[in-house]
Structure 1
């Protein structure tokens, strides 16, 4: 049985795809198969939009504060499907929507995707990882090369016009205090929030 939806604390997470343009050195899916007793997040195939919608009927949606698109893959790989499901959730359950992303949606789809999020997504959380362009490529081993770092920053700057809350994140133990200060400067320049996430092993 595929795990399409799974609980993390007070939120319900959507596992849409295992595709991702990155192969991050620190990615949790390299060392585990599940999150919080979710069952394996490796999909035998990608669920259809209807299958995802049907899955919500199995959960007491009144329990959750937020629906989060984040599984064992980059959710914006299925951007149009993500937005259709987000619209369904907002209309039916009146819950806020968050997307946890690597911020490379524009490169994945070869266009400016920021306007597409407007009206569907309340929060976008983007993994910044480092303030350094070359280090970002070394850490993420993404298929786009060093241009990915600049694309991420451009996406963050653009998408804040359409999404109320945009956050760039780094992992607490992964970078130095000095690098965290550099990341904060980047966020201040872009006009977005900065969050230091705890490390999950």
Structure 2
């Protein structure tokens, strides 16, 4: 079972395969893994202690950051992430990033961002569309069209508690959609990045 894996000079932490979205472009549709994690499908979700033990087996000096990102939405386990972050901050000096779809507040039923302050250094939020209709068509969230506004609200709240907030889109969406997303991210005060959409090879 792959709990941690390497991608570039970052150590990624894979803690769940559950997700609130079923995105058309999701890498899980075409691959079993990414980076050094050749199979990110979990037999079961690792406990907090199992995550910490797996991290401690690594040569942490090799990495520039910890990243919560695997084959699922990490904030499905928001409270476990908070506890893991506390332990990591006690032992290591590396920054911590969360790659997320921005549904944490819907998942938790409240604004979770104040509890991330001082623990999470960066959050990368998958935006992927400029309005709720395009978003639902592309991301197929279990929350329906409410997911888009919740994602934007999460980003706004993150700006108050987390030093770096980045909104991202896949490069397979239209140029007009990318422009709309750029403007939305700028209105929030977040950074913006277009990420590469991995496609199934012929």
Q: TM-score range by the shorter chain?
A: over 0.9
Shifted more, 29-38 versus 15-24: the winner is 29-38
Q: Give runs of ≥4 in structure 1 deviating > 6 Å.
A: none
Cross-structure match for 1:121 = 120
Cross-structure match for 1:179 = 177
CA-based RMSD of the aligned residues comes to: 1.0
1:177 and 1:145 map into 2 onto residues whose CA distance is: 24
CA drift at 1:175:
1.7
Aligned pairs for 1:70-85 (under 5 A) are: 70-85=69-84
SS at match of 2:161: coil
2:8 and 2:15 map into 1 onto residues whose CA distance is: 19
2:197 and 2:26 map into 1 onto residues whose CA distance is: 11
1:93 and 1:112 map into 2 onto residues whose CA distance is: 27
SS at match of 1:166: strand
| 1:100-130 deviation line (CA, Å, top 9, x unaligned) | 0000011111111111111110000000011
CA drift at 1:39:
2.9
1:14 and 1:105 map into 2 onto residues whose CA distance is: 17
- Give the structure-2-normalised TM-score: 0.95
| Contact kept in structure 1, 2:167 and 2:190, CA below 8 Å | yes
SS at match of 1:169: strand
Aligned residues: 199
CA drift at 1:34:
1.1
1:75 and 1:6 map into 2 onto residues whose CA distance is: 15
CA drift at 1:199:
2.2
1:118 and 1:45 map into 2 onto residues whose CA distance is: 29
2:173 and 2:139 map into 1 onto residues whose CA distance is: 14
| Contact kept in structure 1, 2:132 and 2:145, CA below 8 Å | yes
- Give the structure-1-normalised TM-score: 0.96
**What residue ranges of structure 1 are gaps of 5+ in the alignment?**
none
1:7 and 1:132 map into 2 onto residues whose CA distance is: 34
